[in-house]
Structure 1
Amino acid sequence: MWRWTSPRISYLVGRLSQVKLSDGRCCYSQLLHPSLDLQSSQPQTNHLPKSYIGENVSRKDKTKFLLTTLHEINDSKEAVYGALDAWVAWEQNFPIGSLRQILCNLEKEQQWHRIVQVIKWMLSKGQGTTMGTYGQLIRALDMDHRVEEAHQFWQMKIGTDLHSVPWQLCHLMISVYYRNNMLEELVKLFKGLEAFDRKPRDKLIIDKVANAYEMLGLVTEKERVLEKYSHLFKEERPTKKRGRKSGVTKKKEKLEDSGESSSEEN
């Protein structure tokens, strides 16, 4: 169970202790809406909602509730963090799966600022410390016009371990530098990858690096890179896969073969 550090969570605990229902449980909606006068109202079993807090509330309903809250809540860090703290207060295990689903929905809606807030809250809890989450944060910071913050996060969390960072994440950062005209940082990153003998697999990376060298006036370096990775620009012809022939196709071929043989005999 999570620690009750948030004022919002402390309030929920207080409300829970005030509610005395016959079955010993509290209505989920009553805890979340302080406007309800729980002390004056008498508990009536017939009017209780079907969903209760904890395991009796479906994961889908909890996710939908948080997503709606994040859409309507104040944009301040305190408000967002307080809502997230209250949301996970009754969870025995950190709901990382539901949060990833929420982040995907926010990304579809291009809610970049809110994505940054949610991921930073997750990281403050020691959760979501994966390369996938880091990449999503960097992309959100870039789209939220906070490229300097994305650069600082890269240097602090990822850039110190270039020998094992996935190429997909490296390509993302190279693209961020290229799009924001941070060409010196782009070249520095690529040279760091080359120092660990990391070989790019995408010609788009070499295009960006070569263009960066050219714009920086380093023509010799541009030619070196294009020559070194020239194999990436060679077109590979797709091979045709031979699948199994259907019964109709085989019958048709037999008929054609028999027709050709009869014509030859005539």
Structure 2
Amino acid sequence: MWRSPRFSYLVTRLSQGNISNVNRCYSQILSQPSYSQTKSESVPSEQKASREIPKHYIGENVSRKDRTKFLLTTLRDMDDTDSKEAIYGALDAWVAWEQNFPIGSLRNILLCLEKEQQWHRIVQVIKWMLSKGQGTTMGTYGQLIRALDMDHRVGEAHKFWEMKIGTDLHSVPWQLCHLMISVYYRNNMLEDLVRLFKGLEAFDRKPRDKLIIQKVANAYEMLGLIEEKERVMEKYSHLFTIKEERPTKKGGRKSSAKKKKGGPNESRKDSADK
């Protein structure tokens, strides 16, 4: 193997020297701290603590009310043409300030958006919540179905019902069932309406509102199923005959007033008789 003259000279000098001294010097070099370490150690601990930024510094110094207002303003300023990633990114950045998922603040935001009839934005916020595993309640599901219906996306509302709710009809609240029946009725999806009502009847679910029966009966009639309409109207006829008796407060007040007025007169008559 060919070696250059300088390399051969260096090898011979190292072989003649004391190898232990070389190892000792190398270990001393490794044990010495680097320049960056010495510089960081030379900084006083007080200055080092002042330079460190605490975790969630921004979020802890902004009140929850201001953070909620900031998100609501951000969602209002965004256009409907903004992508799903932009909306989800804004929500992710906002929720990063919180240690726990702010489900209460989001419900207030959804109520504000519902008053402003921003149905498209409501759908985006609720879908983002569900993607995080939050808000999986019947109330949130109903709010999403209503927003999809008002946003002219009844097909998505139907798919969501079939996937998340329609598979367990024996425990779905009647309020949510009435909402879906109304969605089907309003969008002329009569076959789906009848199928849903038959599924509820299969679990012996008894409706409490005559408006549900009226919509079902009208759906049967428009589908040409007159016998089914008559069956439903006869089975639930008691809902149309029940009259709510509401006591009048005025009558109660008058009777009490008469008693008060009649009290001293009766006492006078009793004293006269005596």
- TM bin, normalised by shorter chain, reads 0.7 to 0.9
Q: Are 1:215 and 2:229 counterparts? A: no
Aligned residue for 2:167, secondary structure, equals helix
Matches of 1:128 and 1:64, distance apart in 2? 20
Q: Distance in 2 between matches of 1:21 and 1:247?
A: 76
- Equivalence for 1:254: 263
Rounded to whole Å, the distance in 1 between the matches of 2:225 and 2:166 is: 24
* Paired AA for residue 202 in structure 2: A
1:233 aligns with 2:240: yes
Q: Percent identity?
A: 79
Aligned-partner Cα distance in 1 for 2:87–2:49: 31
Match status 1:171 vs 2:178: yes
Q: Which runs of 5+ in 1 are unaligned?
A: 1-19, 29-51
Distance 1:102 1:188 in 2: 35
Map residues 82-231 of structure 1 onto 2, 5 A cutoff: 82-231=89-238
Q: Judging changes above 3 Å, is the alpha-carbon distance between structure 1 residues 182 and 21 closer, same or farther for their aligned structure 2 residues? A: farther
Could you say what secondary structure the match of 1:83 adopts? helix
- Structure 2 Cα separation of the partners of residues 59 and 245 of structure 1: 52
TM-score (norm 2): 0.74
What is the Cα deviation at residue 235 of structure 1? 3.4
What is aligned with 1:62?
Answer: 67
Aligned partner letter, 2:126: I
1:78 to 82, 85, 99: 85
- Write the letter of the residue equivalent to 1:156: M
- Residue by residue over 1:24-48, the C-alpha shift from the partner in whole angstroms, topping out at 9 and shown as x without a partner, is 448x9xxxxxxxxxxxxxxxxxxxx
Name the SS for the 2:238 alignment partner: helix
State the Cα RMSD in Å. Answer: 2.8
**Pair 1:229–1:256, CA change in 2 (3 A):** farther
Task: Sort the Cα spacing of 1:132 and 1:253 in 2 relative to 1 into closer, same or farther, 3 A.
Answer: same
CA distance in 1, matches of 2:131, 2:263: 70
Q: Tell me, in whole angstroms, the C-alpha distance in 1 between the residues paired with 2:199 and 2:168.
A: 10
User: Shift in Å at residue 76 of structure 1?
Assistant: 1.7
Structure 2 unaligned segments of length 5 or more: list them.
Answer: 1-47
CA-to-aligned-CA distance 1:83-116 (integer Å, 9 cap, x gap)? 0000011211100000000000000000000000
Scaled by the length of structure 1, the TM-score of the pair is: 0.76
Quick check: which has more Rg, 1 or 2? 2
Cα distance in 2, alignment partners of residues 177 and 122 from structure 1 = 26
**Residues 156-194 of structure 1: CA distance to partner in whole angstroms, max 9, x if unpaired?**
000000000000000000000000000000000000000
